[in-house]
Structure 1
Amino acid sequence: MQFLDEMSFRQVSVNFELYSLKNGSWKNITSVAPDLELAWCTSPVAFVNGFIHYVGFQRIKSVDPGAERFNNSILAFDVKNEIFYQVLLPKALAGAHSFGLSIWKYKETSIAIVDDNSLGSELRVWVMKEYGLESSWTKLLIVNESSCRRTRLSGLAACRNNGELVLKTIVQTSDENYVGGIVSYDTETHKHRDLRFWWKEYTKCICSYTESLVLLDIGS
């Protein structure tokens, strides 16, 4: 498996290993993965229905080196059976720039792809309505700067379990400075709610957590 390094844009070969809480050890994955490269090793991944999902792509060779194109899809890893699968994306996303795509868990049981190729000014959200059925990909909505008044979008930070989007914004203050904010956007009512969280440094993403009694140092 290969990643495309986000700094040098060079291919970097990697191996997959799976950690067992029961055995307390790492195991090499011997399953053959589809011929895909994974862009941006720091991109979010989505764990849904026992599968880990990554955004991947294949290079489409061209006579003109400067006209290289990509065919995007999803690499899914079945944790239980330790098998890789390839999931096709809708045509509108298959040819998009790979670095603008990210995958997210959507409403606990499915996945969403967010196209941020407009560098935050507009987010196109696609949802797999029926998990595992490629024909069920549906464009959920387009979020742009007019969706969140008096703010400028900076990107997606998270998808909440209720389907709301947590958006990073840039807000102009009264003294004409700019600060980063976080808003929750309801995809059904198209209303947003300020979460009253401000940041000045670069924020990569926001993660949710689930309380658990599983102890990492004790197998179960």
Structure 2
Amino acid sequence: MSHSHIPPELITNILSHLPVKSLARFLCVSRQWYDLISDSGFIKKHLNRSVETNRDRTIILLEHDGSHCGNGFSFDFDDDEDQFCNAVKMYPPLQHCDILDCCDGLVCLLKGREEVVIWNPLLRKYRKLPSEKPKGVTDFWFSQFAFCHDHQNDDYKVLRLFQYNDLPIEIKVYSLKSQRWKKVEEQWPNKEICHWESASFNGVVHWLVSDFGVLDKESLLAFDLASEKFKLYTTPVSPDFDQETRLEALGGYLCFVVNVYGEYNDVWVMKEYGVESSWTQIYKIEKVAVPWDFEYYKPLMFSKNGKKVLLEEHWNSNPFPIEYDVEKIHSKNLIWYDIEKKQGKRVQNWSFPDAFRTATCIGSLLLLDGDNVIDPWQRNASPSEGLNLLLKAVDELENEMLE
């Protein structure tokens, strides 16, 4: 039966169940299918289904040992086994970059203090943001970025904090929808950031802050990307000089982590966002739970049954860094921690790089209209080599269609 006799709504429903790589190939089937798959409504429908089913879950690792970084590796991830499949090598659109954050299948990459790219690794598409370094700035300046989804406006945004010498912090937001930067009129409150890493969740960027010079009165500062307003919340645990506190996002919750170096990780979530009384401890990793030297464990995702959490083990030559340094802070292992049994086990995979940073992705067609990522070998290939690559790709596609 010709697909022209199939009701359009049925075709849409069938295609929305398919993985990203299949849909990328089906763009070439016909103009009708191209218009359908690239339609914003279909992209949103497909994304919602991916979120509901955890479809196309992929682990992205960027090699990160301080001297040789930038190579990327992806791992298909369908269950919570102690071993992942072998790595597939991939090329990020920036070399020598770091993973800033990930959201709905998009990964935000940062190089240095001003070069930012939004990347869909499954589609191999990206968009490079225009530089926002003010002209004439040559002395010391501080820059920090965050990335998340503005649900109210259905827009993906990058927030940038910029401070030059002792001048007030300037806030700008880049909109993927409008493709431009906008200066935020709301003034940064009279607060000092306690830790260089922010946490983006629910369309809001969060920092741990304190009054200037008063580190024992820590609070949570939230900036809503839709309203462009700040709000302060209390944290579940009072700060202590023996501990390090951080913010993360885990399983649809804002997460507060208390780390005592070499002793334990205590993890809390805000069960009802914005309600301070809803802070709830969900697990505590103690030294006896893991048979190796204790490090900081960044939570990445829950297993499908919710009984385990996948962790990124951070190695840090200085457990309390003054400022972010990619050469000193990176990961050596991924770990499954069983919440009920209170036991941790490292994921075994010989294709892991020696040190890396991690992003977790789901299947997404976002950024379908972005620029193509071309790996360095292809970028430098001669015309005859390029033709061979094209013929090889055609052969692979034909074999896949025959299977």
* TM-score normalized by the length of structure 2: 0.41
Structure 2 residue aligned with 1:40, among 192, 195, 200?
A: 195
Superposition CA RMSD, Å: 3.4
1:69-127 Cα deviation digits (max 9, x unpaired): 4311111111111111111112x33x33498111111212x2111111x2243111122
- Aligned-partner Cα distance in 2 for 1:159–1:96: 25
Gaps of 5+ in 2: 1-140, 145-164, 316-330, 371-403
Of structures 1 and 2, the one scoring higher in RCO (CA 8 A, sep 6+) is 2
Q: 1:73 to 1:49 in 2, by over 3 A?
A: same
- Report the secondary structure of 2:277's partner residue: helix
Letter in 1 for 2:181: W
Please tell me whether residue 128 in structure 1 is matched to residue 273 in structure 2: no
Structure 2 match to 1:19: 174
**Structure 1 residue 153: Cα displacement:** 1.8
Structure 2 residue aligned with 1:112, among 255, 259, 268?
A: 255
**Structure 1 residue 193: Cα displacement:** 3.4
Gaps of 5+ in 1: 61-67, 171-178
Letter in 1 for 2:297: L
State which structure, 1 or 2, has the greater radius of gyration over its C-alpha atoms: 2
- Report the secondary structure of 2:187's partner residue: coil
Letter in 2 for 1:115: V
Q: 1:87 to 1:217 in 2, by over 3 A?
A: farther
Using the aligned pairs only, state the percent identity. 24
- 8 Å CA contact 2:310, 2:334 repeated in 1: no
Q: In the comparison of the two structures, how many residue pairs are matched?
A: 189
- Aligned-partner Cα distance in 2 for 1:35–1:19: 24
**Structure 1 residue 186: Cα displacement:** 2.7
Q: Which runs of 4+ in 1 moved over 6 A?
A: none
- Aligned-partner Cα distance in 2 for 1:99–1:29: 34
- 8 Å CA contact 1:153, 1:169 repeated in 2: no
- Aligned-partner Cα distance in 2 for 1:124–1:11: 35
* TM-score normalized by the length of structure 1: 0.70
Structure 1 match to 2:223: 77
- Aligned-partner Cα distance in 2 for 1:98–1:27: 40
1 or 2, which has the higher strand percentage? 1
- Aligned-partner Cα distance in 1 for 2:167–2:369: 32
User: Where does 1:137-216 land on structure 2 (aligned, <5 Å)?
Assistant: 137-148=279-290, 150-162=291-303, 164-168=309-313, 180-197=332-349, 200-201=354-355, 205-215=357-367
- Aligned-partner Cα distance in 2 for 1:53–1:216: 29
1 or 2, which has the higher helix percentage? 2
1:49-82 Cα deviation digits (max 9, x unpaired): 211122222246xxxxxxx543111111111111
- Aligned-partner Cα distance in 2 for 1:74–1:32: 17
Structure 1 residue aligned with 2:234, among 88, 110, 114?
A: 88
- 8 Å CA contact 1:101, 1:114 repeated in 2: yes
Structure 2 match to 1:176: none
- 8 Å CA contact 2:302, 2:310 repeated in 1: no
Structure 1 residues 24-33 or 208-217, which shifts more? 208-217
Q: 1:53 to 1:216 in 2, by over 3 A?
A: farther
1:151-198 Cα deviation digits (max 9, x unpaired): 12211133314461405288xxxxxxxx94331113244233321256
Q: 1:189 to 1:131 in 2, by over 3 A?
A: farther
- Aligned-partner Cα distance in 2 for 1:105–1:39: 18
Structure 2 match to 1:49: 202
- 8 Å CA contact 2:266, 2:281 repeated in 1: yes
